[in-house]
Amino acid sequence: MPSSNLLVNLFALLAVSHVGQAEDVATAFEGTPTSWHGFDRYDFLLDEANGAIKPADPAVKGDVAGQRRCIVVAPRTPAPGRPWSWRGCYWDHQPQTEIELLRRGFHIAYITADANRTPDKKWDAWYEFLTAGHGLSPKPTFIGMSRGGMFAFHWATLHPQQVSAVYADNPAVEPEALARLGDLARADVPLILVCGSLDPLLGGNALAVENLYQQFGGRVSILIKDGAGHHPHSLHDPGLLADFLEQSTRATPPAPPDFVTAGFTRTTFYGTATDYRDFPREGTRISCRGPVFTDCYSRYNFGLQGVEGTINVIAPNTAAPGRPWVFRAGWVQRDAVVDLALLARGFHIVTGPISYNADNPIWRHWDATYQHLVSHGFAAKAVMEGAGRGAGEVCAWAIEHPDKVACLYAENPVLRSLTAKTPPLDNLAPLAHAGVPLLLVCGSLDPEIDSQARVIEQRYQALGGPLTLLVREGDGHYLAAARDVQAVVAAIVEAASRR
């Protein structure tokens, strides 16, 4: 006759395999449960020598020589998909988020971890026990505080396809894990970081993760508690953290848009603005930034046959009627507040391809990009955008195609081009005769404002072309982000709709 443990395992596997019944049948764990914050807790011992896992005697507390204690706490009713959260270290420390997750149907799991027992094959064995053996989700979320954050990032960056999300609280992070963050970002694993503004780990750890993850195109949100140090961890009200983890287990990537080609990659794009919010239950204000607190967009990178270099398109969450778009030179950085505002208004933001084998844009490749996008429903007239010498390149393309341009927006423009035979500064007539509006935003201290922007203004108006020049007093070549944004965006939207 089969052993009782075998029957339990068979029961668990059958419960998972029958989709119609899986949501109604509780996952069965061996052993005698104890109580943890009102939920059933099951203890196991993992043999350090052979990896075998067996129920622990509830009467035996603490460490056992040669064994690694493992814990799983079961919800009263498992949520669909049987999500679970893995505690990286410091069991039962500030557990309010996990208690809230249990109420929402998550399982909570832990394996003994400390400075001498870092993530290793024992963690992999525990993962297999819970997923393959007991039907929990193959993609757990992680909660890691301090060293626990280090362990969470260690395991998650080694197994990026097996993680739903990471919540790290005043985490330490190993250099090796920092180097692997790109793999985690490419797997689209969202992160949330909670830190104290006085925590000594903040600068070289959490902020390093935030900066790198953003540049890799990953989603990372951060909460920095004003005046707090390394403790206390977590938030008194765990709702925001539980919402983040719960939503991460349910999220699915958007369907690829019709304009991308085979082999595309998708990352995310969002701004860096910080919102300083009051959290009365925390007794302080918290600086908040990232996708949890702001709009987040999909960024697609793809190629076209015969085009050297890739095309980069940031898609709005809802396209505006007529699918207006920006055709620009240069990578869209996180502080591109005008582009962010246009995305919120339904514009696509497109960066034209640049060949690795040339020093300048190749116009037939930009022409092919334009034709490809227009054939997929993009507006026939694009908003051209560039900064510095990038403005010179987009202006040169616009001069060759004035009938395809809604307006030209330039920041501190330098109208020189490596591609055009005639410098754009000396060839503005085609744009003026087509009535293309020029919108220039310049810093009063920009070293080339007099030789460029002022000359553009004089020549374009003499040609009868519509031009607006906004000069920001005290700014240099790099403009302060927040000023005049709404006026600029309103002018671009009006020009795009009118033409």
- DSSP reduced 3-state for 42: strand
User: Averaged over 171-175, what is the pLDDT?
Assistant: 97
**How does DSSP classify residue 160?**
G
Identify the residue with better confidence: 61 or 137: 137
pLDDT, position 24: 37
Indicate the average pLDDT of the chain. 93
Query: pLDDT grade, residue 18 (50/70/90)?
Result: very low
Contact indicator for 79, 36 with CB cutoff of 8 Å: no
Contact indicator for 456, 438 with CB cutoff of 8 Å: yes
User: Averaged over 176-194, what is the pLDDT?
Assistant: 98
> 24-30 — which CB contacts under 8 Å span 24+ positions?
26/74, 26/77, 26/78, 27/74, 27/78, 27/82, 27/107, 27/134, 27/135, 27/136, 28/134, 29/72, 29/74, 29/134, 30/5, 30/54, 30/55
pLDDT, position 74: 97
Contact indicator for 385, 392 with CB cutoff of 8 Å: no
Under CATH, what is the fold of the domain 292-498?
Rossmann fold (3.40.50)
pLDDT tens, position by position, 324-377: 999 999 999 999 999 999 999 999 999 999 999 988 899 999 999 999 999 999
pLDDT, position 15: 37
For the domain spanning 4-251, the CATH number is 3.40.50.1820
Q: Compute the half-sphere exposure of residue 408: CA atoms within 13 Å on the CB side of its CA.
A: 38
Q: Whole-angstrom Cα distance, residue 378 to residue 289?
A: 31
Is the four-CA dihedral 130, 135, 137, 141 of positive or negative sign?
Answer: negative
Domain ranges in the chain are 4-251, 292-498
Two structure tokens written together for 20: 């119609």
Strands 348-351 and 467-472, how do they pair? unpaired
Calculate what percentage of the chain has a pLDDT beyond 90: 89
Query: pLDDT grade, residue 191 (50/70/90)?
Result: very high
| Shared fold status for 4-251 and 292-498 | yes
Q: Whole-angstrom Cα distance, residue 289 to residue 221?
A: 6
Among 145-154, 206-215, 241-250, 474-483, the least confident range: 474-483
Q: Whole-angstrom Cα distance, residue 114 to residue 142?
A: 16
Residues 6+ apart with CB under 8 A from 321: 346
